[in-house]
Chains A and B, each alone.
Chain A
Amino acid sequence: MTVVPGRSSPGGVTAPRGAPPPRGDVDDARRRRLLAYALLLPGALWLLVFFVAPTVTLVSTSLWDPSGSILYGYELTYHWLNYLDGVRDYGPQLWRSVGYAGTATLACVLLGYPLAYAIAFKAGGWKNVMLVLVIAPFFTSFLVRTLAWQMLLGDNGWAASVLRSLHLLGADGHLLATPFAVVTGLTYNFLPFMVLPLYASLEKMDPRLIEAGGDLYASPFTTFRKVTLPLSLPGLVAGTLLTFIPAAGDYINAELLGTPRTRMIGNEIQDLFSAGAYPEAAALSVTLMVVIVTLVAIYVRRTGTEDLV
């Protein structure tokens, strides 16, 4: 989940440093190389069975003839129109997903950056306690926590009452069942995935660099912009990816906190699968994947993090 600072060499196991090369060098090198492959094997098998195979199945499903059914079976007819149909029928949900996920990611940055910064530089002895508190929500189920937000944002909840008494919310206004509720839920659920990588990259930064910025005529704000922010960029990119990608495909928050008008693409895909409309559901899934991969590729390239990590 957090950024791993350095990878070990592909050689995996090596002789203790400084030891003279053992006899039978050639044999040893070969054994070491084989061992490296042997260590790769379980992971590779896992990926093959649970990632490559399902992806192939998903793509082939997306090209089935949509007129098939579970009873009479499906036929692989390279029916590319499944994709057009998906985008035509569910375009708004697709863009809404990107919009909600983007908004939630932005909110996570605005909430998570100051938090990660405070934990890394200002928490002192409270550092570990605060980190545990960031992770603490994971001890409760995702579903239960999202249901709790129904209570918090409900018409009779304290949040709505307070806003209503302050006239910030109209007498017939709601918090629950609005885009706001869905984005709030997404933000809440994915915030730790933003905070932890940000913390990891801020924590390893030398605080003397901030002093050096001040020493070299940069105001605190300029020092942040020119020194702290660029140095935490790998964490920021990792955090936004870990937040945006799952948020874009999420359907629980829209299901529990939203209305039919705030449905996200995840909800539609789930419904289509339940209804047996496998080809269109698969086509939508692949479309979502392509959209996300494209956005992420552009994003990573724009932030120039290949250079930093």
Chain B
Amino acid sequence: MAESDLVFKSVTKRFGSFVAVDGLNLTVPGGSFFALLGPSGCGKTTTLRMVAGLEEPTEGSIYLGDADITRLRPYRRPVNTVFQSYALFPHLSVFENVAFGLRRRGVADVDRQVRDMLALVELEPLGARRPGQLSGGQQQRVALARALINRPQVLLLDEPLGALDLKLRRQMQIELKRIQTDVGITFVHVTHDQEEAMTMADTIAVMNGGVIEQLGSPHELYEHPRTTFVSNFLGRANLVAARVVERDGGSIVVDVHGARLRAPASRAPSDPQELWVGVRPEKVFLGAADAEPGSAGDAANVLPGGVITDVSFSGVSTQYLARMPWGQELTVFAQNTGARPSFQTGDRVVLRWGEDHTFLLDAAQDASAGADPKGGV
């Protein structure tokens, strides 16, 4: 166990009969940018508040390095929080807000440290203002500076960008990542925004119903989801019912309504015969039904018989919905590079994708778990 790892050992938190966090075992490596991702009510904020000391676990322990911090009072923990609503002190100037933690600990040269920190978040000229006189993005940075200046072992961020508009959020995502790299402190970031988590975090834990569904790098989670929830919550996924036909060395061959599809065996659940075959919409190439397979000719997996039912153009890409012979609509994203043909509603198409981009999930799971209710599968 490294010096500054944050470790949860069988942590459970109940509110009355509601189990918010259920037997959580987790190690957050020191110095990493770690995201807890999940829908609201999944237990991510409760987990964060237990680290901050604002909630006490019903069972289990939390360690920071070798120290058991489970029952330590919040103000004795080397942990600071950036609150969702920022919780800036409205009666204090920006400068005094940032200096608050240093003054409480009786640190010397408060002035210099606060000025340096305000410079880091590019707010130096606004030190004399009150939080109420700042924009949302500026308040967000004050909240960050106020926590960061204490050089905590762990910085907790509770949906810190939730209140910002899209453009500012993108900008702050990059900035947060830069600051984390600069200061090297462990960041634990709670969010329900999968894109935000993937942009910033080294490691993401996807939480659902008080437990962690899957843990890994953004790339791993996206390309190798292990549950339908993860496949739907991170990005979009096409999930099609399939039966295992044979195991052929490194591949598994499955039957999908008469078509044979291949997937790497390493990504398959071990025994079940009934599976979901999954592929990300941008991995799928569309071809006209009557044309020869072109540039995507190396694709091992082919689903014929699709009919385009919807085309929506969004600038960088076009989203197609293709109705398959068994009635299911599959989603395809096509980059608008100009190199590929475009299709109209009613066109007959073939869907192709590579074996490596195929993943298999146990069919016992709900195919729509974690899906955005607005979008189709």
Q: Name A's B-contacting residues (CB within 8 A).
A: 206, 208-209, 211-219, 222, 226-227, 230-231, 308
Contacts and interface: CB of A to CB of B under 8 A. Distances in A.
B83 interface: yes
A217 B101 contact: yes
Given A214-B75, A215-B147, A217-B104, 15 more contacts: A208-B83, A208-B87, A211-B52, A211-B87, A213-B100, A214-B53, A214-B73, A215-B53, A216-B80, A216-B101, A217-B150, A218-B104, A219-B75, A222-B104, A230-B91
Contact of B54 (A211, A217, A230, A308): A211
B89 interface: yes
A212 B83 contact: yes
A215 B81 CA distance: 7
Interface of B: 52-54, 73-75, 79-81, 83, 85, 87-91, 100-101, 104-105, 146-147, 150
Contacts of B146: 216
B85 A206 contact: yes
A209 B91 CA distance: 11
A208 B172 CA distance: 23
Contacts of B90: 231
A216 B54 contact: no
A218 B100 contact: yes
Contacts of B74: 211, 214-215
Contacts of A231: 89-91
A289 B89 CA distance: 38
A199 to B, nearest CB: 19
Contacts of B83: 208, 211-212
21 contacts: A206-B87, A208-B85, A209-B87, A209-B89, A211-B54, A211-B83, A212-B81, A212-B87, A215-B75, A215-B147, A216-B75, A216-B80, A216-B150, A217-B75, A217-B101, A217-B105, A217-B150, A218-B75, A218-B100, A222-B104, A231-B91
A226 B85 CA distance: 20
A222 B100 CA distance: 11
Given A222-B104, A231-B90, A215 B80 contact: yes
B73 A227 contact: no
A222 B52 CA distance: 18
Contacts of B73: 214, 219
Nearest to B158: A208
B53 A308 contact: no
A227 B89 contact: yes
Nearest to A214: B74
A234 B100 CA distance: 22
Contacts of A215: 52-54, 74-75, 79-81, 147
Contacts of A216: 75, 80, 100-101, 104, 146-147, 150
Contacts of A222: 104
A211 B90 CA distance: 14
Nearest to B143: A212
Nearest to A233: B91
